[in-house]
Structure 1
Amino acid sequence: MPDALQIDAQFPGGNIVVDAIEDDVVRLHQDLRDTQRDWFYWCFRVRGAAGRTLHFEFTQSQAIGARGPAISTDAGVSWAWLGQQAVQENSFSCTFDKDSDEARFSFGMPYQQSRWQEFIALVSEQATHREYLQQHVLCTSDHDRTIDYFLVGCNDHEPKHRVAITCRHHCCEMMASYALEGLVDWVVRDPGPDAEWLRTSTQLFIVPFVDLDGVEAGDQGKGRHPRDHGRDYAGESLYSATAAIRQWLPDFNDGTLRVCLDLHCPWISGPRNEVIYLVGSSDQTIAAQQRRFSGILAAASTGPLPVSALDFLPFGTSWNTDDNHTDGIGFSGWAAALPDVKLSSGVEVPYATAAGAEVNQLTAHRFGADLGTALANFLRHLLL
């Protein structure tokens, strides 16, 4: 007798509400939890489906992106896009192998804290790399998790430059984490002259999971009530991580903090959301440096994900207006006002497609190297 069909989200990053199961049709929707607006993150596990073809229908809002859902058959270690051929409107179908024990499906390719920890352990195994990578405790999260920060690069003497990079202010925006991993990997281990220059002249302060609780719980994060982590830099911070960053970063800045980047993913799909771009500042001095960096990043992008400086999103256009900041200020807006900061910006990494190219675990990781090269070239020629 075959195992009974089971669908659940009881694992780190899991998120789903099952409405009904009728024969081979599963009706379900993403769990918004404390998100005040509609959003699209979901991730669930299927067991007991060996040899069957199941049809998954999302019953509420748009939940499937540019390349269909992602599937993992190794408990979330590796992911692949099912592709649009599996999609019908807001639903998708999948035929399971006859020996399939478990499969996971998600809107994107989830990146949990466990993967980051494995990556850090791998890099730290080599003694020659340890001096370029230091792990410290930033704070304890609101749900008693340890939130770490990392000092990457020039740690054994006074650096010429300092850079701050944050990620997962909106916990569902997982593809940005692959880019951050690729950036750190490049800075610490790449033998080329750009990486060598950056790690011996520049110290990077990195917070890989600002909303760590949300990442592990599988929350949307975006639009969290009463405001999310990405809008928690005005007034008194609601969350321990953002409060700690606001306290720590000014002390980190001894006159050498030049660049602050906040890595994000955009909306679900569509032309504006299928390119890599910087989010323009209302400060024209900062915006000029953002445009300069956009050009440098485009020139440095020799990997599989193309970047065009023409995709820069000026303030006052599309969603990038004052109306988008009525509930608070983001990290890059707050950091732009810190002394000596020349460039502060959000960087948007699409979920599935970047200028026609496939975004996945490998290509997003490789984009991190391009981002690192751009940082080196920007800082090397920065007029102080």
Structure 2
Amino acid sequence: MKAVGLVVEYNPFHNGHLYHLEASKTASGADAVIAVMSGNFLQRGEPALVSKWARTKMALKQGADLVIELPYAYATQKAETFADGAISILEALGCSSVCFGSENGEISPFLETAELLNSHHAEYQQLVKQFMKEGMSYPSAQTSAFLSLETDSRPLDLSLPNNILGFQYVRAIQKQKASMRPLTIKRTAAGYHDEDFNSSPIASATSIRKALFSDEQKDISPFVPSSTNELLREYESEHGVLHHWENYFNLLKYTVCTMSMEEMRQIYEVEEGLENRVKSVIMHAESFKEFMEQLKTKRYTWTRLQRMCLHLLTRTTKDQMQQAGGRAPYLRLLGMSDAGRSYLNSVKKNLETPLVSVLSSFSHPLLDLDIKASAVHAMILPEPLRSHCIKREYSTRPFQYDREKGCFL
């Protein structure tokens, strides 16, 4: 069997994701689709709308065959580290290709840009450092360094979010000497950061989340599969909430107020005296939005600061995150279809990375971070639901989806 890998968050699964999944399977000629999915917190430092278990169901119902969790130590990182973790999982599972959405839509510019940066590596790194010293954020410094290289060839626009992430997948494949082939599908209709709907049935996850939290209660049904809509409503009915940062602001304020400056300095992404600014600003802010608006500076992007806040919330230290090397140390299985089970059976004897389906069978410091993150994600829920969700991390076995019958076993 041949598998294509997708790196996803599905927050929530929408029509654009369905298009990407189906187009990826067609472009790769794969028999199975493996989705490496972020857990309960995401790359932009946000809580997922619903639990990873609910999002696993969304993925399986719409065509994913295996859903593997991307550990917290990779899922909540900058694009380069995020990509390293995801690609290492797909390589460990023997994927023949990885397919990502991009604004460009052609793979050759990604390969040419990787070759260009490899040949100008020292110059590029020096320029990044120079621009950061001038007060630029890391992403802006990278873009400016790329544009400042002494070359006439710049085949890829690295100022666009999906191009940036796709490029990091290509770089990760090269660094890890992975055997898989990179493919890309052009994003259609909605842009990554689009906040409003248009006439297309494909909308950005950003606009869908905005609609879900809108006072107007906008209808998202034209932009998501019916199963996504059903699972979102079911989750909100059972849990009384769709998760977002405002739910966690009191917990964040409590955490910051009860930590010493020295404790804060040990937290991942707390750098260059940020602990002083955080302590000062949070005391007077009445909402997470207000706090972030006052905390934001030209040097640090909203996303970078949001990730720092997440690590404060989960009390994740620099030492803990440094245990994440270039390759993920385990494969946490969240769900599978019949095809996914067949694929796993075909590669199991060649797996060198431990496959984890029950937590009691494996332990690792990075897995401890995943467990803690799931507990924090559940902290805003009332009892006894909160305890149930925390215990679920240990008791839930991977979902098995019978695609022919259209039901979970």
**TM-score normalized by the length of structure 1:** 0.25
Of Structure 1 and Structure 2, which has the larger fraction of its residues in helix?
2
**TM-score normalized by the length of structure 2:** 0.24
